[in-house]
Chain A
Amino acid sequence: MRGESITVRGQVQGVGFRPTVWRIATELGLSGEVRNSGEGVEIRLWGTALERFTERLRAEAPALARIERIETAPLDGPAPEGFRIALSGGGAMHASVTPDAATCPDCLAEVRDPFVRRYRYPFANCTNCGPRFSIVEAAPYDRERTTMRAFALCPDCRAEYEDPADRRFHAQPIACHACGPRAWIEHLGGGAVSHEAFSLLDAVDAAGGMLTKGHIVAIKGIGGFHLACDAADAAAVERLRARKGRRAKPFALMARDLETIRRYCALSEAEAAALQSPAAPIVLLQAEGEALPDAVAPGLGQLGFMLPYTPLHHLLLRRMARPVVMTSGNVSGRPQCTRNEAARAELAGVADFALMHDREIANRIDDSVLRVDLGRPRLLRRARGYAPAPIALPAGFDGGLRVLALGGELKNAFCLVKDGQAILSQHMGDLEDAATAEEAARNLALYQGLYEHEPELVAVDRHPDYLSSKRGREMALGAGLPLVEVQHHHAHIAACLAENGLPLDSGPVLGIALDGLGFGEDGTIWGGEFLACDYRSSRRLGCLKPVALPGGSAAVRAPWRNAYAQLMAELGWAELAMNFGHLALFERLEALPRATLDAMIAKGLNSPLSSSCGRLFDAAAALCGLAWDEQAYEGEAAMRLEAAVDPAALGEPDELAYPFSIPLLGGRGLPYLEPLAAWRALLGDLHLETPVGVIAARFHRGLAKGIVAMAERLSGAERSYPTVALSGGCFQNRTLLALVHEGLEARGFSVLSHERVPANDGGLALGQAVVALATRQA
């Protein structure tokens, strides 16, 4: 009889891997044992059908498992009797907490089956599904260190938990009506609610009934509270906006099934697959078919849908033929509530009722947001269902130092690197918000505990005032650790290289980083950059035109400031007044405090120069009349401009695209994209009363052409940069991404873009980590 020792690496713990091993081994008549270890799963096998074993293991791996590597070695010694599951060793980087996962088909079937004991149980789960990261308080991952600690297993649940043949073998959050968490409904204004009064099945069903009647209901989910209302009820949606203080930022939607979503949106196969994946993210879809009230996503042609991802959500939506708004349960500007008392205090003026439960949420984790662009799913917000799954680093990064990278200021996420793996935290939000900053500190401690991570190297953004950078500098100083300050756009491109698996020693690529603002190498503010990049270094080869931001961060919020600064940068008031004085736009410009703005720009008073692409979009949206005053949320102006694009106009002859030229800065410095001719053409189109959809299309096409032309020019006849990497928040504009991507490919470039890691600042920490590591390994 032969023996073999097998090590399986990847996401293989806490996902029902050992029972699967047990089942296959037993079915093949093999003897031996399986255990969890710091490396992953260790299997010792004796028998005759050893080849069949690994084959079947790959084919029959549980839904949430991800096998990265299987290593085998011959084994000596006598074969034991039978096959057993042995106790675990310690936890380590690649074998720890997995992301929360949507209810599996087996659990859903049970919840819907009146003849089994978990019928209508809102918290049913198994090794293939259920809460994970959101309930973890410490390592290693077992029930005692999760918020399920509060619920002692009943004999039935315990039997399932201990039976290797059961789907619930060692499923830590296992529960049932008899022993597990309960849901109830309460009046947020005070006073009890009896669901019998609604003659409904139970509290969850009653909450569904309240939604149908037009009420706003706070619903406690996996990673936090949601605020829900009937999405087709315009009055309810408006009421929710008013009470929450959320002017225009789009609301996410939940629908009971794909059929319901198809009534409102076109749905590709890739989009349907993303919706149904265990991560169950919000998927942004093109609105098509029946319309929902504009208040759901004002001014945007896209709707963000998700499917129910817990039994509670399934039960809630069971009888809802229409989608439900499911927006984060908070008052605008604050993080989502996670605790019952906080929700009672904060949401009392917002929701009429609350569907509560008594399973504590240990870690807030927002819904992830994804969109399928160019046929590939791309994460825009990486949180529930994705974090904290490890990202394997490319060849050349194995071993090496343990790095802590602290990320950006907005959409903050941090990143830990150890043993060639990167753990990117969930999206946390804007650090200027004190609650978010406190949570970031708590999360960092949690992750460091879960992954036994003691940093040897700290990486931060170069910005002098990013709170993340300040914290990182303090930590490095306090612990005597080396600190690497990484330029913002270098980090963006490096994140893109890393997630695309480019090996450490690859030659330089041309990085195109288009975003809002980032602190540049030269102390000015960058945001539209063409960089010669590898992991170790980055050199600025070209940029968008540096234009003043009159009012600094005020210019980030108010699009009119950029519209004015862009026009005045070259065009000047005299030409504007002479040629375009009759436009409605001119009246708006005339009403601005021009003398003050001119002086600010001329003297550089709180008006730093910036080559930002985001601000260029703000200006274009403002000139088109799509945005002017304060933006209600980050990126609103640009999103409205993109939403306005008339797809038919994207097929117009090339000459109609707005022209961007490529002169040299100061006549001899860097090449830059000059928008002067583009603005003249845009104003000309306003004069001709060209529809705004056509103007928006011509702007997108012109800019994309300019970007591609710049790439060609920088790469030169000798094709110095055969590979181009695209990163930065502006590439979340799908029209721009598609035009640039296709334009570059048509000219023979190979193009890298983001999928698993956000192109926006949510991916920054990964880039910082690999740059720091590469710099130190050099």
Chain B
Amino acid sequence: LAHGGGGKAMRDLVADVFVAAFRNPEMGELEDQARLSSAALAEPGAQLAFTTDSFVVDPVEFPGGDIGTIAVCGTVNDLAVGGARPLWLSAAFIIEEGVEVALLRRVAASMRASAEAAGVVIVTGDTKVVGRGSADKLFVTTSGVGVIPAGRRLAASRVRAGDVALVNGVLGDHGAAILAARGDLALTSDIVSDCRPLDGLMEAVLAAAPGVRAARDCTRGGLASALNEIAEAAGVGIELDEAALPLRDEAKGICEILGLDPLYLANEGTLVLFAPAGEAEAALAAMRGHPAGRGAVAIGRAVEAHPAVVVMRTLLGGRRIVDMLVGEQLPRIC
């Protein structure tokens, strides 16, 4: 791809790749903005949800997806964990000069596929091509709009002592798959990223357990960071049970050799939610009944003790503080 300084040829090419992939009625006219029906907002008490996120990942393609998959799933999931039904997405691309057009086509195709799976439409977008070294292959920014139906109020601050923490599946697969896919680390593995949209799962759970207090997708910083945010926001303690954590031996093996803690490994299709004890069974059953929640399990609960602190009961019977990390995983041991 040539660095085009806004040249027409380049714009045409990009338009060809992306517009073709995302074509839909809202986008059709190629106006400077998408024009959306406000019908979905007409319901009294409904709220508009709006989020944005930028995505950089090395490598751009990995087992189970590519940067396009996570750009759509990431934004859809940020909406979904707030109880919103995602509707529309925007997508902006920063492309490094020299990237193959074929790669862009593959990314666009996976974005389209993920959007379809999530039931959202990509309605507007932008592309910029920058010189070699000014970006690493491809950066994607997506923004999303959704609607939170009347009566839904999911917030980390609503979690109460006694609530049960549930996750929808195995932890750390995305992080482990990315590390293995880098190639230079000489790790062989069959691990596939978990990236997938979670809006359907959330709808199913909320239908079965409308009292669910909060949900968080465990992306950067993993389960550990998501739980710490919730503990802090709610002013409750959280107790985790190490024996209950769904971890694949393969991911554990990769973590072991690299010295990483799987609790901090990124996920792109895994969330943790807190259900009141009385609805925990229903929530768990609803999760397991959904394709994105087959491996759902209860991993712990909110407690009155140690407010804002996450503590894990270890396999050996100890109690270890699982803290929010300020930086990377710097050794703390002297």
Q: Which residues on A are within 8 Å of B, measured CB to CB? A: 245, 331-334, 408-411, 431-435, 437-438, 463-467, 470, 515-519, 525, 549-557, 561, 593, 595-596, 599-600, 603, 605-606, 608, 614, 634, 729, 760-761
Contacts and interface: CB of A to CB of B under 8 A. Distances in A.
Interface residues of B, number: 30
Interface in B290-334: 306, 309, 311, 314, 316-321, 323, 325-334
B331 A410 contact: no
Contact of B321 (A410, A411, A437, A614): A437
Given A333-B318, A554-B256, A410 B333 contact: yes
A552 B331 contact: yes
B330 A464 contact: yes
Interface stretch (B127-135, B257-265, B277-285): B257-265
B102 interface: no
Nearest to B179: A605
Contacts of B259: 550-555, 561, 606
A554 B321 CA distance: 18
A515 B331 CA distance: 14
Nearest to B239: A434
A549 B331 contact: yes
B1 to A, nearest CB: 27
Contacts of B233: none
Contacts, number: 117
Contacts of B327: 464-465
B184 interface: yes
B9 interface: no
B306 to A, nearest CB: 7
Contact of B323 (A438, A467, A761): A467
Interface string B230-273: 00000000000000000000000000111110000000000000
B42 interface: no
A433 B320 contact: yes
B185 interface: yes
Contacts of B331: 517, 525, 549, 552-553, 555-556, 608
Given A331-B317, A552-B259, 11 more contacts: A333-B317, A433-B319, A465-B330, A553-B329, A554-B256, A556-B331, A595-B186, A596-B185, A606-B260, A634-B333, A760-B334
B332 A465 contact: yes
B278 to A, nearest CB: 28
- If over half of B's interface residues share one DSSP class (helix, strand or loop), that class is named, otherwise mixed; here it is loop
B319 A435 contact: yes
Given A525-B330, A551-B257, A553-B329, A467 B321 contact: yes
A417 B256 CA distance: 42
Contacts of A332: 316
A464 B331 CA distance: 11
B250 to A, nearest CB: 14
B311 A434 contact: yes
A184 to B, nearest CB: 27
B333 A553 contact: yes
State the 8 A-B residue pairs at the shortest beta-carbon distance, nearest first.
Answer: A551-B259, A554-B259, A595-B186, A434-B319, A553-B331, A464-B326, A516-B334, A333-B318
A583 B259 CA distance: 28
B187 interface: yes
Given A596-B185, A599-B185, A334 B334 contact: no
A553 B329 CA distance: 8
B139 to A, nearest CB: 20
B276 to A, nearest CB: 25
A553 B264 CA distance: 14
B330 A433 contact: no
Contacts of A553: 259, 329, 331-333
Contacts of B187: 596
A608 B330 contact: yes
B277 to A, nearest CB: 22
B273 to A, nearest CB: 24
B334 A518 contact: yes
Nearest to A556: B333
Contacts of B321: 431-434, 437, 467
B185 A463 contact: no
B332 A466 contact: yes
Nearest to B325: A465
Given A463-B332, A465-B330, A552-B330, A333 B316 contact: yes
Nearest to B328: A606
Contacts of B184: 599, 603
18 contacts: A331-B316, A331-B317, A408-B334, A410-B333, A410-B334, A432-B332, A433-B320, A434-B311, A434-B319, A434-B321, A465-B326, A465-B330, A466-B332, A550-B259, A551-B257, A555-B331, A596-B185, A614-B334
A433 B325 CA distance: 16
A478 to B, nearest CB: 12
Residue from the set B314, B319, B329, B330 with the largest chain A CB neighbour count within 10 Å = B330
Contacts of A555: 259, 331
Contact of B320 (A432, A517, A525, A729): A432
B333 A517 contact: yes
A434 B320 contact: yes
B185 A600 contact: yes
Residue from the set A438, A519, A614 with the largest chain B CB neighbour count within 10 Å = A438
Contacts of A435: 319
A411 B332 CA distance: 12
A745 B323 CA distance: 45
A599 B259 CA distance: 14
Given A433-B321, A435-B319, A606 B258 contact: yes
B317 A409 contact: no
Contacts of B329: 552-553, 606
A394 B260 CA distance: 44
Contact of B257 (A470, A596, A761): A596
A245 B314 CA distance: 14
Contacts of A551: 257-259
A520 to B, nearest CB: 11
Contact of B333 (A334, A409, A606, A760): A409
Interface string B47-77: 0000000000000000000000000000000
Contacts of A518: 334
B333 A516 contact: yes
